[in-house]
Amino acid sequence: MRASIKDVAKRAGVSISTVSRVMNKSAPVDKEKTAAVKEAIQHYNYQPNQFGRGLVKQNSQMVGVYIAHTFDSLFDSTYYLELLKGIQTVLDHYNYSMVIINEKDNLKTGNRFVDYVNQKKIDGLIITSSIIPGSEAENSYNDLVKGGYPTVYIGKRFHKEGNNVYAQYEDYMYQMIKEFYMVGHRRVLLFIYEGHKEYIQAVHKKVQKNMPNLKLFLHIQSSNDNPREEFKKQIHNHVYKLGCTAIGCSDMDYIHLIIGNCIELGIRIPEDISIISVEHKKEEGANCFPPINAFYVPAQEMGKIAAKVLITDIEEGNKANVFKELETKYSQRESVTIKKNG
């Protein structure tokens, strides 16, 4: 059994409260006693038991990160990875730990984070945009917010309460299409994550309204055993049969499959096909061959902000809701060319 505060107190010849005082610097303590306590702490390699401390302070120094997603898709997306990096960085700085709360089944009815909250396992909660609108989780989350529990929601929010960090997915996807449109493309293929299905509809509508003579082809990519062949089929079909001259994709994950398949199919970039992607890591597109035009979504920054907001909320109480909208930045590189209308 590890040493407890009692052992330390005994060895230092003081009471447990004195030990507690020097541990937490919560009250002035005689110099010599302080030294004795410190010696005893050293000697036992003493660390206060978090259950005891937590029981009285009711905090765990842990923060939950909720992800309603298969872990596979999560850990394959640069977006989440960068988000997590950002979160972890500031959590670490403020001496909090990150607990991942993963919901993989029953995305509609699951709300596993509620248990963590009720069990006091975590002091605050960061929700990742993968939560399904209208799901049980969304409801539970709203309850939490209403109850004043420290939370931050990353991604598109459908309610105005609560802290929110967001990079307008719909905006930059729309911008992407507009980029193509402006240089003459009229038939565009979009590779989209299954999880973004909901959001892309709004984009599609707006496109139909504002660029009536542009035809948008959507390919919703679900997990697949052979993405190589799947992409090849899609690209071949859309480029050769349906006359697409531009491909957009919402994550760098797909870009190598797209580039590689284009090369294999004898489709030149950008001469035959223009490509724009989204990058969640700086200059990611620049490291492709050829360098790919991309919208930079500062995912890591988003994670950092979310964590900072959450910690402020935890430690100082939520004064006002924070709504932080991040800007994306478009980098022109070598993957888009003007399409002469023919």
Binding site for a second copy (CB under 8 A): 2, 45-52, 54-55, 58, 60, 62, 71-72, 75-76, 81-82, 84-85, 88-89, 92, 97-102, 104, 114-116, 118-121, 227-228, 256-257, 259-261, 263-264, 286-289
Coil, helix or strand at residue 154: strand
Q: How far is the CB of 282 from a second copy (least distance, A)?
A: 10
Q: How far is the CB of 330 from a second copy (least distance, A)?
A: 20
- Rounded Cα gap, residues 207 and 201, in angstroms: 10
Nearer to a second copy, 67 or 276 (CB): 67
Nearer to DNA, 22 or 262 (CB): 22
88: left (phi over 0), alpha (psi -120 to 50) or beta: alpha
Nearer to DNA, 59 or 140 (CB): 59
Contacts by residues 278-281 (CB-CB < 8 Å, ≥ 24 positions apart): 278/172, 278/173, 278/176, 278/249, 278/250, 278/251, 278/252, 278/328, 279/78, 279/252, 279/331, 280/78, 280/79, 280/81, 280/82, 280/251, 280/252, 281/78, 281/82, 281/252
Query: And the tokens for 137?
Result: 């989780």
| Chain-centre distance for alpha carbon 131 | 11
313 binds, among DNA, a second copy, none (CB under 5 to 8 A by kind): none
289 binds, among a second copy, DNA, none (CB under 5 to 8 A by kind): a second copy
What letter would DSSP give residue 119? T
Q: Give the range of 51-59, 169-177, 203-211, 231-239 binding DNA by CB under 7 A.
A: 51-59
- Rounded Cα gap, residues 104 and 88, in angstroms: 22
48 binds DNA (CB under 7 A): yes
Q: Applying CB under 7 A, what is the total number of residues that bind DNA?
A: 31
Q: Give the range of 47-55, 60-68, 179-187, 241-249 binding DNA by CB under 7 A.
A: 47-55
261 binds, among a second copy, DNA, none (CB under 5 to 8 A by kind): a second copy
184 binds DNA (CB under 7 A): no
Nearer to DNA, 21 or 196 (CB): 21
24 binds, among DNA, a second copy, none (CB under 5 to 8 A by kind): DNA
Coil, helix or strand at residue 98: strand
Nearer to DNA, 8 or 305 (CB): 8
Position among 35, 43, 55, 205 found at the interface with DNA (CB under 7 A): 55
Provide the 10 A C-beta neighbour count for residue 134: 11
Q: How far is CA 8 from CA 24, 42, 56, 209, in A?
A: 14, 9, 20, 73
Nearer to DNA, 23 or 214 (CB): 23
| Residues whose CB is less than 8 angstroms from the CB of residue 40 and which lie 6 or more positions away in sequence, other chains included | 7, 8, 9, 11, 12, 19, 46
Q: How far is the CB of 81 from a second copy (least distance, A)?
A: 5
133 binds, among a second copy, DNA, none (CB under 5 to 8 A by kind): none
Nearer to DNA, 9 or 294 (CB): 9
Query: And the tokens for 158?
Result: 């459908």
What letter would DSSP give residue 132? P
Q: How far is the CB of 61 from DNA (least distance, A)?
A: 12
- Rounded Cα gap, residues 269 and 254, in angstroms: 15
Contact 298, 326 (CB under 8 A): yes
38 binds, among a second copy, DNA, none (CB under 5 to 8 A by kind): none
Omega within 30 of 0 (cis) for the link into 298: no
Region 2-41 residues binding DNA, contact defined as CB under 7 A: 4-6, 14-21, 23-24, 26-30, 33
The backbone torsions φ and ψ at residue 38, rounded to the nearest 5 degrees and listed phi first, read: -60, -40
Residues within the interface to DNA (CB under 7 A):
1, 4-6, 14-21, 23-24, 26-30, 33, 46-49, 51-53, 55-58
